[in-house]
Chain A
């Protein structure tokens, strides 16, 4: 169980009054759940994610994982950035990128290589192991970043608008890939997006945030059967209702 309690973050630039990005956000992510975090752009979603995985110190409040407070990036979490091209090391091949993040992991070299290869296979990039990131398309780069997170063996995946900069078709493929892999491997997922449809389509629970200073506007369970389907699920009454509710919520606040 990942718990976020009263998380507050304000930036103060010397002299000027502090800008408050997060104004006391609280929610929790049960083990194995897929939680989408949706909110208007610029509402501090990325900041929240950075605080959750210990990259950034919150001004107040705390993040706990199974009761342990998080102050530095824990081995149980992997963060996947919006811009895969900027987060893949251009001097390593795709395989090299994965093996690099496994440096500190236990196990022999051969085992780690095996882990890396199976992660690549899971995202359908087995044939591209020896390619450099810039040789891949945007969608494939995002898959590679995902494979890196999977191989790391973290039980919690944090994703920061990972599909925001790929075309619509690729995006649907990636959504289904993520949902499938996460279910299959029993991952806990915290998925940040500004796209309400995407949030609803993927999640068991949607957490909607208000504009900054961000607070939780509502927590909605999504009652849609798994596995989901790009056409059927999106036409489902429950999908449409949830979508409508969140739209109304975000417009009101």
Chain B
């Protein structure tokens, strides 16, 4: 909460005033519940439904109405998960995946933001890059895995390269749009008060772009995790993706589901950390960077 005595209803909040027009996937709300309603806790009914579904799963599997060799009971998966965590096996695999995802995210995020922001700020540069970018951007990242294998072999470098490529584009699109966020009044203010071009870029255009860039990076982070898992499945000797696929091939569905749960936890955890960091970076915004 803020301490101001007066509140301005039409206060400037770039992320709200800018019509994104669907250019970037509008920042997925932190959760489906609570975008607008805010604090209302998910009603007990929702949890009951979830528990009911899990029990149903357990029962169907135990009664062999679901093939138990493909869908083991929930309790078995839970046991397996616990055992793998205790033994450290899953933690090690998850560490590999997280490291690769973060490295890819770092490379791709920085590259995408830099390229997009430069394209947005310098229209000539943007025009020159546009065709090349529009050719590369829709390329499904997985299609690059085979090419990557040629140059980088299997493992860390490959995962970082493919994930970096994939998560650069959400960051790029957000940065292009973000660079246009600062209104004419802000740009003119900087000029009237005699600030240099570079100062205007660093202190006016860049902060104005930040909310959008953060939204793009958040999408990019989710993409990076997904693509690393993908790449590990297609071409890596280890990591959670490889772990899941091997378990599946070896006919050990309990292990496989434990791996899937771990991937979900990794994705959710990284997202939570990023959202917390974003909240700090956008502390100047109303509602601390939330939409």
Q: Which residues of A contact B (CB under 8 A)?
A: 50, 53, 55, 73, 75, 77-79, 81, 83, 85-92, 100-101, 103-104, 128, 131-138, 140-141, 148, 152
Nearest chain B residue, comparing its CB with the CB of A55: B188
Given contacts A88-B12, A136-B8, A137-B8, contact A73 B189 (CB under 8 A): no
Are A81 and B2 in contact, with the CB atoms below 8 A? no
Cβ proximity bits B166-189 to A, threshold 8 Å, 1 near / 0 not: 000000000000000001011011
Interface residues on B, range: 20 to 34
**12 residue pairs from A and B, CB less than 8 Å apart:** A55-B188, A73-B191, A79-B188, A85-B8, A88-B12, A90-B12, A91-B208, A101-B195, A132-B284, A134-B13, A135-B11, A138-B8
Nearest chain B residue, comparing its CB with the CB of A128: B4
Given contacts A81-B185, A87-B186, A104-B195, contact A136 B4 (CB under 8 A): yes
Comparing B92-100, B199-207, B272-280, the segment that makes contact with chain A is B199-207
Q: Which residues of A contact B14 (CB under 8 A)?
A: 90
Are B11 and A103 in contact, with the CB atoms below 8 A? no
Measured in the bound complex, the distance between the Cα atoms of B285 and A78 in whole Å is 26
Beta-carbon contacts under 8 Å, B251-291 to A: 284-286
B7 within 8 A of A: yes
Given contacts A87-B186, A89-B207, contact A137 B195 (CB under 8 A): no
Q: Which residues of B contact A128 (CB under 8 A)?
A: 4
B128 within 8 A of A: no
Q: Which residues of B contact A148 (CB under 8 A)?
A: 193
Partner of B204, one of A89, A132, A133: A89
Measured in the bound complex, the distance between the Cα atoms of B193 and A73 in whole Å is 7
A-B contact count (CB 8 A): 95
Residue from A87, A100, A101, A104 having most chain B Cβ neighbours under 10 A: A87
B6 within 8 A of A: yes
Are A104 and B203 in contact, with the CB atoms below 8 A? no
Are B11 and A85 in contact, with the CB atoms below 8 A? yes
Nearest chain B residue, comparing its CB with the CB of A140: B6
Are B12 and A137 in contact, with the CB atoms below 8 A? no
B194 within 8 A of A: yes
Measured in the bound complex, the distance between the Cα atoms of B189 and A252 in whole Å is 36
Given contacts A89-B186, A90-B14, A91-B284, contact A73 B7 (CB under 8 A): no
Measured in the bound complex, the distance between the Cα atoms of B11 and A85 in whole Å is 6
Measured in the bound complex, the distance between the Cα atoms of B7 and A135 in whole Å is 5
Are A135 and B4 in contact, with the CB atoms below 8 A? yes
Nearest chain B residue, comparing its CB with the CB of A98: B193
Q: A104-B195, A134-B13 are in contact. List 13 more A-B contacts (CB 8 A).
A: A79-B189, A81-B188, A85-B10, A86-B186, A89-B186, A89-B203, A91-B207, A131-B2, A132-B284, A135-B7, A137-B6, A138-B8, A152-B193
Q: Which residues of A contact B249 (CB under 8 A)?
A: none
Q: Which residues of A contact B186 (CB under 8 A)?
A: 86-87, 89
B150 within 8 A of A: no
Partner of A138, one of B10, B189, B196: B10
Partner of B194, one of A104, A135, A137, A140: A104
B49 within 8 A of A: no
Measured in the bound complex, the distance between the Cα atoms of B189 and A126 in whole Å is 22
Are A141 and B8 in contact, with the CB atoms below 8 A? yes
Q: Which residues of A contact B286 (CB under 8 A)?
A: 134
B47 within 8 A of A: no
Measured in the bound complex, the distance between the Cα atoms of B203 and A31 in whole Å is 33
Q: Which residues of A contact B203 (CB under 8 A)?
A: 89, 100
The 10 closest A-B pairs by CB, nearest first: A134-B11, A135-B4, A137-B6, A101-B193, A87-B185, A91-B207, A86-B185, A91-B284, A79-B192, A73-B192
Q: What is the distance, in angstroms, from A50's C-beta to the closest C-beta of chain B?
A: 8
Q: What is the distance, in angstroms, from B80's C-beta to the closest C-beta of chain A?
A: 48
Are A75 and B189 in contact, with the CB atoms below 8 A? no
Partner of B199, one of A78, A103, A136, A137: A103
Q: What is the distance, in angstroms, from A127's C-beta to the closest C-beta of chain B?
A: 9
Nearest chain B residue, comparing its CB with the CB of A85: B12
Measured in the bound complex, the distance between the Cα atoms of B14 and A136 in whole Å is 17
Are A90 and B191 in contact, with the CB atoms below 8 A? no
Are B183 and A86 in contact, with the CB atoms below 8 A? yes
Nearest chain B residue, comparing its CB with the CB of A92: B284
Measured in the bound complex, the distance between the Cα atoms of B14 and A73 in whole Å is 26
